[in-house]
């Protein structure tokens, strides 16, 4: 963990009486793939919301470069270079696929009202480049030819990838993926794993991942943090996590059949 | 440190505090000026107070409907003003008929009960129809759609009543039993009608509150307002509960309509708009979705509106300050939403974000 | 017994009949039937009041037929006829009850004339039989239309609509045709009121034939244009502009004064509609206080240009004398500033509250305008008179004809700005905001400033409209700026299609043009708007002219090479990060 890009220090988030995230410390290595796992309600999505500025933690610091993210507006955080996807896909459903990506490029573009009304050369050039970039991203996520469809009319897997493309459009340094393989069959999942690796290898983006499928987590992550009831119970590489008694207890002790079978599957893999 | 501050404190915040600050200053200076001039005696202030309470009680009855429906559907039932108006309007025909036959003054209590029953029934029927025809099919639609439907329904009902019964305002018949005043000793005098309004409204609210808090249906309502899907998994018939919510709100609004007419003695198809928008303000003021909040907010708004114009503006030399009482109410709405959007008592809703 | 009845198909027909009966009774009692009976569609044959009742019958018949579970179509027809007969029966009961209960004491429109219209002037059993038969036949017609192939039913429908429309607009069309020199045509086409029988048959036949021909051709004109390469599409668009603009330009010379004046009112509403379309349609901010900006535009124009100033000469004590042209940009600027100042506190507020707060703001402005407090400055309830008039050389912008050109140019400007903004980065941000505010923010869109831009642009257009309005009317009073105006404009953009710029024009013509020309309608205008908003939201929330999606992943771009990765992220990501710190 020599060059960390994002530092989360003692972050606590409380809803009413419920402590969703409790004094959490986390560091993200640059160009790494980092997974956050844990049973339902462990505070994973809350953590994402804290990083992206939708929740303001009660205490603690989130440091990105020389910026303190706590209390910053979400748009500003995106602007600094952190973007995300959602667990339940949240595309702009009545916009076309390509428009979704163009919206994603918003923080990188400059054209203001005057440019728009008078179609200044600067804006024409910018729009042309933005459109080209959007097409490139569309190709990159294998949605070539589907750019003019309304995003709500795309099949599920395409929507997932479009959402990632939209997040990539802002040229983030860190990409937060919230269960990117949820609801996918094994072959789609495999493709997604491959795709996430490509994001890191080809684009050099640091990836923070929430994932439930152990097979995915174990095969892709370079570093894993395990949350339970808002607290970090373990962290380490895939091998370390698999043998950590606390993790096994968190999953097995609860008797959650799905957790058990996934764990076994992961061990077998 | 400065950088951190600048990244967080936006121009918007600055403007908001500027606006809020200047209004508060105005209010304070105006109040001091009015009080130091001493134009108004303690008796005046007492009259304002009672009037404010009576007005606030009516607002409260309307506000309950807004707050209940918002609590469950997260929707501003814009047509609630017409639910309020329709009951009072039909009640008016019964009242005039009874006035003509002498029944109204012969058996005032029974007559009043009949008027209330008619008004509440009509309000309930209108509200249930609204829910069934206009709102239920749109429950899953984007936020703006049911709101626009509600606005359309509101205008449709308003105009239907106007064209059916004529545009002219009609005078509600007066009841001999409600004329006159009670002397409370000293300079304090209170009108009988105001007593009736405050007592009746208080009883209604109490009954409603107990219904929501103590009965099984009430519990189901609260469950639905927390989470519709889970509630339906628990075996609660969500549609039926929503209808009942509308019924409750409409019954309260119908009663409020009659009280309003008894107090202001005038009726027309547009009478619902202003009190309802105030009532909504009051519901927001108290924290929408929160029943005691709506009641408290309404009383507060009623008082504010009756005392405020004189207290804040008279001292500043503003001519005819009562013309501006609606301005004061609306300004208050904006201020509340800016500085405490969850209202005085806080919302009872889990506002889900992201 | 009841259970068996409920299970049978007749029961649902009865239900539909009851529903239709209630609607028909409502329409009768609010006075529409009587009021509209003054306007003939086909002279001496059918008037508009009857048409409305007939339409109810046809629709009820149609619905009954479609909802029917019966296997045999004969049964379905009989059911439809039954539903229609029920409507007739209910109206007959109404006719009986009106004198019996002295309903007129409560329902003002329950007049003898209404009874006469409903019973076709007959009494007793004859009336009953006649009403039942007409009801049955009307609904049967509705059912029969449904059995035809959709091509034919659609054509018949179109034919009826055009006959009704042309019949209703007889006065206007007669004037236009006479000016164009087609004097002969008007004589056989129209009667004293409405169409002549011959005219109706001819129009119906022509429309029927045209629709059948077009539906036979399958591909619509729009689809054919879309199939063309972009360059020719572009050319077609500009050619149609080049044809349309001169056409509109000569319109006032064809029309007489009154229709031109109507066109001007419609134009001012369209101008407002273009503005509100940005706020509601693009950005999804439901602004119910939109009239406030219209009022501010009007008042600034009034105060700055009125010649009735001084304590004795007029109501206003203070009046810097500006000309119309100087005051116009100031009015727009004032409206924009109001938009910004209102917007800053208000736009932080959660979505659904916005409607109420803006509504409150609109009311504040209206009450302030009418208050004694501001009377010395803006005239209070007596308003401002003698508002200035624009002048270029010898041309004064105070007649409908000259104003028409001014308004037309302003609409063109607003249209241009709307289109440009829609297709820009800001337009996309607005749409994203409309779809999902939280995600839009997560995409890096600054919520308040983006909303402010929508608000300010909308306010500018309303302010412009208000300023011209003040000059057009010559005097302004607070009661011109009621909530109704906001609702009217909202109805306009919803009918046209939220977010659709051409929709604003369609909505303006449908919602304002038509009713202005049918003066009987004014009494029921809001009633119909209210119903229209509800029905549109329930059945066609996207409006008559839905917002079109843009084709941006163009065909020629598709031929480019394979899935090349986008430029490496970190390299580019640095630039925004740097400028942000």
Q: Where are the domains of chain A?
A: 1-81+172-269, 90-170
Chain C CA closest to residue A137: C566
Task: Give the DSSP per-residue string, B7-23.
Answer: HHS-HHHHHHHHHHHHH
Q: CA of B253, closest CA in chain A: separation in Å?
A: 33
A78 to C549: CB separation less than 8 angstroms, yes or no:
no
Domain ranges of chain C: 1-147, 244-492+499-506, 550-581
Q: Which residues does residue C167 pair with via DSSP β-bridges, in sequence order? A: none
Q: Which of residues 334-353 of B touch A (CB under 8 A)?
A: 353
CB C344, CB C334: distance < 8 Å: no
Identify all chain A residues contacting C455, using CB atoms and an 8 Å cutoff: none
CB C546, CB A150: distance < 8 Å: no
What Rg do the C-alpha atoms of chain B give, in angstroms?
22
Q: How far apart are CA B118 and CA B105, in angstroms?
A: 18
Chain C CA closest to residue B154: C530
Spell out a b/e string for B117-142, using b for 16 or more CB atoms within 10 Å of the CB, else e: ebbbbbbbbbbbebbeebbeebeebe
Identify all chain A residues contacting C576, using CB atoms and an 8 Å cutoff: 79-81, 107-108, 170-171
Nearest to B69 by CA among B118, B159, B134, B116: B134
Number of neighbours of residue C451 by Cβ within 10 angstroms: 25
In eight-state DSSP terms, residue C566 is: P
In eight-state DSSP terms, residue A21 is: E
Q: Which of residues 17-56 of C touch B (CB under 8 A)?
A: 26, 29-32
Residue B104 or residue A14, greater confidence: A14
Q: CA torsion sign, B119 to B124 to B127 to B132?
A: negative
Number of neighbours of residue C510 by Cβ within 10 angstroms: 16
Chain B CA closest to residue C357: B334
Q: CA torsion sign, A123 to A129 to A135 to A140?
A: negative
Q: How far apart are CA B178 and CA B47, in angstroms?
A: 17
Q: How far apart are CA B229 and CA A51, in angstroms?
A: 29
Residue pairs between chains B and C whose CB atoms are closer than 8 Å:
159
Helix (DSSP H) and strand (DSSP E) numbers for chain B: 14, 4
Q: CA of C575, closest CA in chain A: separation in Å?
A: 9
Q: Which of residues 461-500 of C touch B (CB under 8 A)?
A: 483, 487, 490-491, 494
Q: How far apart are CA A100 and CA A163, in angstroms?
A: 8
Where is average pLDDT lowest: B95-99, B309-313, C570-574?
A: C570-574
Q: How far apart are CA A104 and CA C424, in angstroms?
A: 14
Spell out a b/e string for B223-235, using b for 16 or more CB atoms within 10 Å of the CB, else e: bbbeebeebeeee
Q: What is the mean pLDDT of residues A255-259?
A: 45
CB nearest B163 (choices: C30, C356, C360): C30
| Tens-binned pLDDT, residue by residue, of chain C (581 aa) | 566 666 677 788 888 889 899 999 988 888 888 888 888 888 777 888 888 888 899 888 888 888 888 778 788 888 888 899 999 999 989 988 888 888 888 888 888 888 888 888 888 888 888 888 988 988 888 888 888 887 888 888 888 888 888 888 887 788 778 877 777 777 777 877 778 888 888 888 888 888 888 776 655 566 666 666 777 777 887 888 888 888 888 877 777 788 888 889 999 999 999 999 999 999 988 888 899 999 999 999 988 888 776 655 555 666 677 888 888 999 999 999 999 888 887 777 766 778 888 888 888 888 888 887 777 777 777 778 778 888 787 778 888 888 898 999 999 999 999 999 998 899 999 999 988 888 999 999 988 889 999 999 999 999 999 999 999 988 888 888 888 888 889 888 888 888 888 889 988 988 888 777 777 777 888 888 888 889 888 888 888 878 777 766 654 333 333 344 444 333 333 333 333 33
Nearest to A89 by CA among A158, A172, A37, A169: A158
Residue C297 or residue B32, greater confidence: C297
- Phi, psi angle pair for A236, to nearest 5°: 155, -170
CB B200, CB B193: distance < 8 Å: no
CB nearest C527 (choices: B159, B165, B353): B159
Q: How far apart are CA A247 and CA A37, in angstroms?
A: 10
CB A3, CB A29: distance < 8 Å: yes
Chain A CA closest to residue B348: A16
CB nearest A171 (choices: C560, C563, C569): C569
What Rg do the C-alpha atoms of chain C give, in angstroms?
28
B8 to A71: CB separation less than 8 angstroms, yes or no:
yes
Q: How far apart are CA C383 and CA C299, in angstroms?
A: 9
Query: CA torsion angle for C421, C422, C427, C431 (degrees, to 10)?
Result: 160
Probe site for chain B from A65, A71, A78, A80 (most B CB atoms < 10 A): A71
- Phi, psi angle pair for C63, to nearest 5°: -65, -45
CB nearest B7 (choices: A49, A55, A72): A72
CB C118, CB C33: distance < 8 Å: yes
C570 to A107: CB separation less than 8 angstroms, yes or no:
no
Give the side-chain half-sphere CA count within 13 A for A208.
Answer: 30
Q: How far apart are CA C443 and CA B351, in angstroms?
A: 22
A80 interface with C at CB cutoff 8 Å: yes
Q: How far apart are CA A207 and CA B15, in angstroms?
A: 39
Q: How far apart are CA C35 and CA C50, in angstroms?
A: 11
Q: How far apart are CA C46 and CA C40, in angstroms?
A: 6
Domain ranges of chain B: 55-272
Identify all chain A residues contacting C548, using CB atoms and an 8 Å cutoff: none
Identify all chain C residues contacting B15, using CB atoms and an 8 Å cutoff: 344-345
Report the CATH architecture of A1-81+172-269.
3-Layer(aba) Sandwich (3.40)
Q: CA of A215, closest CA in chain C: separation in Å?
A: 27
A116 to C443: CB separation less than 8 angstroms, yes or no:
no
B156 to C534: CB separation less than 8 angstroms, yes or no:
yes
B354 interface with A at CB cutoff 8 Å: yes
Separation of CA A40 from chain center? 17
CB nearest A68 (choices: B4, B353, B354): B4
């Amino acid at each position: 963990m020599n060059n960390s890009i994002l530092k989360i220090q003692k972050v606590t988030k409380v809803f009413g009486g419920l402590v969703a995230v409790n004094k959490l410390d986390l560091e993200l290595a640059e160009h790494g793939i980092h997974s956050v796992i844990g049973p339902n309600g462990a505070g994973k999505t809350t953590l994402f919301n804290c990083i992206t500025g939708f929740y303001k933690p009660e205490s603690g610091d989130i440091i990105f470069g020389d910026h303190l993210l706590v209390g910053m507006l979400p748009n500003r955080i995106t602007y600094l270079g952190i973007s995300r996807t959602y667990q339940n896909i949240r595309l702009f459903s009545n916009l076309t696929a390509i428009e979704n990506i163009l919206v994603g490029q918003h923080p990188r573009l400059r054209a203001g009202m005057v440019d728009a009304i008078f179609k200044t050369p600067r804006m024409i050039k910018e729009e042309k480049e933005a459109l080209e970039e959007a097409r490139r991203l569309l190709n990159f996520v294998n949605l070539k030819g589907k750019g003019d469809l309304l995003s709500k009319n795309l099949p599920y897997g395409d929507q997932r990838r479009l959402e990632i493309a939209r997040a990539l459009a802002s040229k983030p340094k860190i990409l937060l993926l919230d269960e990117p393989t949820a609801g996918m069959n094994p072959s789609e999942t495999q493709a997604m794993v491959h795709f996430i690796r490509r994001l890191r290898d080809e684009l050099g983006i640091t990836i923070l991942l929430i994932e439930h499928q152990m097979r995915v987590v174990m095969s892709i992550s370079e570093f894993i943090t395990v949350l339970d009831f808002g607290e970090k119970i373990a962290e380490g590489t895939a091998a370390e996590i698999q043998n950590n008694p606390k993790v096994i207890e968190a999953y097995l002790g609860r008797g959650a059949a799905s957790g058990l079978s996934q764990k076994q599957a992961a061990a077998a893999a | 440190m400065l950088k951190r501050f600048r990244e967080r404190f936006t121009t918007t915040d600055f403007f908001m505090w500027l606006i809020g600050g200047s209004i508060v200053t105005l209010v304070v200076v105006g109040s001091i000026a009015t009080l130091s001039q001493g134009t108004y005696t303690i008796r005046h202030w007492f009259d304002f107070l009672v009037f404010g309470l009576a007005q606030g009680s009516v607002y409260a009855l309307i506000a309950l409907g807004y707050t209940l429906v918002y609590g469950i559907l997260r929707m501003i039932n814009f047509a609630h003003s017409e639910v309020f108006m329709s009951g009072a309007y039909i009640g008016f025909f019964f009242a005039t008929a009874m006035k003509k036959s002498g029944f109204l003054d012969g058996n005032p209590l029974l007559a009043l009960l009949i008027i209330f029953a008619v008004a509440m029934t009509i309000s309930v029927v209108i509200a249930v129809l609204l829910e069934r025809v206009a709102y239920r099919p749109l429950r899953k639609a984007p936020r703006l759609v049911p709101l626009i439907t509600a606005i359309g329904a509101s205008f449709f009902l308003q105009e239907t009543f106007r064209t059916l019964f004529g545009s002219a305002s009609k005078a509600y018949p007066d009841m001999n039993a409600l004329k006159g005043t009670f002397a409370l000793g000293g300079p304090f005098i209170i009108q009988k009608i105001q007593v009736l309004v405050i007592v009746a409204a208080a009883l209604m609210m109490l009954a409603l509150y107990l219904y929501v808090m103590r009965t099984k249906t009430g519990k189901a309502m609260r469950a639905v307002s927390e989470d519709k899907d889970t509630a339906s998994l628990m075996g609660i018939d969500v549609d039926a509960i929503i209808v009942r919510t509308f019924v409750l709100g409409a019954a309260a609004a119908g009663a409020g309509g009659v009280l309003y007419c008894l107090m202001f003695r005038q009726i027309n198809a547009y009478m619902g708009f202003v009190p309802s928008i105030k009532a909504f303000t009051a519901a927001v003021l108290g924290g929408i979705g929160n029943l005691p909040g709506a009641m408290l907010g309404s009383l507060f708004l009623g008082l504010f509106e009756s005392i405020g114009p004189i207290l804040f503006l008279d001292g500043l030399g503003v001519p005819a300050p009562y013309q501006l009482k609606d301005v004061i109410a609306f300004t208050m709405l904006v201020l509340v939403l800016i500085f405490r959007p969850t209202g005085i008592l806080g919302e009872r809703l889990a506002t889900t974000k992201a | 017994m009841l259970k068996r009845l409920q299970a049978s198909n007749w029961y649902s027909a009865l239900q539909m009949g009851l529903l239709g009966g209630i609607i028909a009774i409502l329409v009768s009692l609010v006075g529409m039937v009587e009021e509209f009976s003054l306007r003939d569609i086909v002279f001496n044959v059918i008037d508009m009041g009857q048409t409305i009742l007939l339409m109810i019958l046809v629709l009820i018949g149609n619905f009954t037929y479609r909802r029917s579970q019966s296997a045999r179509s004969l049964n379905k027809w009989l059911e439809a006829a039954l539903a229609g007969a029920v409507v007739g029966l209910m109206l007959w009961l109404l006719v009986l009850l009106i004198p019996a209960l002295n309903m007129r004491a409560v329902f003002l429109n329950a007049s003898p004339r209404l009874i006469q219209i409903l019973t076709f002037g007959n009494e007793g059993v004859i009336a009953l039989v006649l009403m039942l038969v007409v009801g049955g036949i009307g609904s049967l017609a509705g059912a029969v239309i449904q059995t035809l192939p959709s091509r034919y039913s659609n054509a018949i429908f179109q034919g009826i609509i055009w006959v009704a429309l042309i019949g209703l607009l007889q006065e206007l069309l007669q004037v236009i045709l006479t000016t164009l020199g087609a004097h002969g045509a008007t004589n056989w086409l129209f009667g004293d009121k409405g169409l002549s029988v011959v005219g109706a048959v001819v129009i119906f036949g022509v429309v029927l034939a045209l629709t059948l021909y077009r539906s036979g051709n399958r591909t619509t004109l729009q689809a054919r244009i879309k199939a063309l390469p972009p360059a020719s599409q572009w050319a077609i668009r500009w050619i149609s502009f080049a044809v349309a603009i001169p056409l509109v330009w000569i319109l006032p010379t064809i029309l007489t004064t009154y229709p031109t004046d109507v066109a001007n009112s419609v134009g001012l509403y369209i101008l407002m509609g273009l503005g509100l379309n940005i706020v509601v349609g693009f950005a999804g901010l439901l602004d119910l206080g939109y009239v406030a900006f219209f009022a501010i535009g009007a008042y600034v124009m009034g105060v700055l240009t009125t010649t009735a100033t001084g304590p004795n000469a007029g109501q206003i004590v203070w009046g810097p004398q500006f000309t119309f042209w100087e005051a116009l940009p100031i009015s727009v600027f004032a409206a924009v500033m109001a938009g910004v100042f209102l917007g800053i506190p208000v736009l932080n507020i959660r979505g659904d509250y916005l409607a109420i707060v803006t509504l409150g703001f609109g009311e504040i402005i209206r009450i302030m305008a009418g208050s004694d407090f501001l009377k010395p400055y803006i005239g209070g309830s007596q308003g401002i008179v003698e508002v200035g008039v624009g002048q270029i050389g010898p041309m004064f912008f105070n007649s409908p004809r000259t104003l028409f050109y001014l308004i037309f140019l302003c609409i063109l400007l607003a249209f241009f700005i709307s289109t440009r903004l829609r297709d820009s980065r800001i337009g996309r941000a607005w749409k994203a905001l409309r779809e999902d505010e939280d995600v839009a923010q997560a995409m890096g869109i600054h919520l308040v400033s983006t909303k402010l831009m929508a608000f300010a642009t909308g306010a500018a257009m309303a302010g412009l409209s208000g300023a011209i309005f003040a000059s057009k009317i010559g005097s302004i009073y607070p009661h011109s700026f009621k909530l109704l105006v906001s609702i009217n404009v909202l109805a306009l953009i919803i009918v046209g299609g939220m977010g659709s710029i051409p929709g604003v024009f369609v909505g303006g013509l449908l919602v304002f043009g038509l009713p202005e020309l049918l003066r009987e309608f004014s009494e029921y205008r809001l009633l119909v708007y209210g119903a229209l908003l509800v029905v549109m939201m329930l059945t066609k929330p996207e409006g008559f002219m839905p917002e079109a999606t843009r084709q941006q992943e163009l065909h020629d771009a598709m031929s480019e090479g394979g899935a090349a990765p986008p430029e490496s992220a970190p390299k580019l990501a640095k630039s925004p990060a740097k400028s942000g710190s």
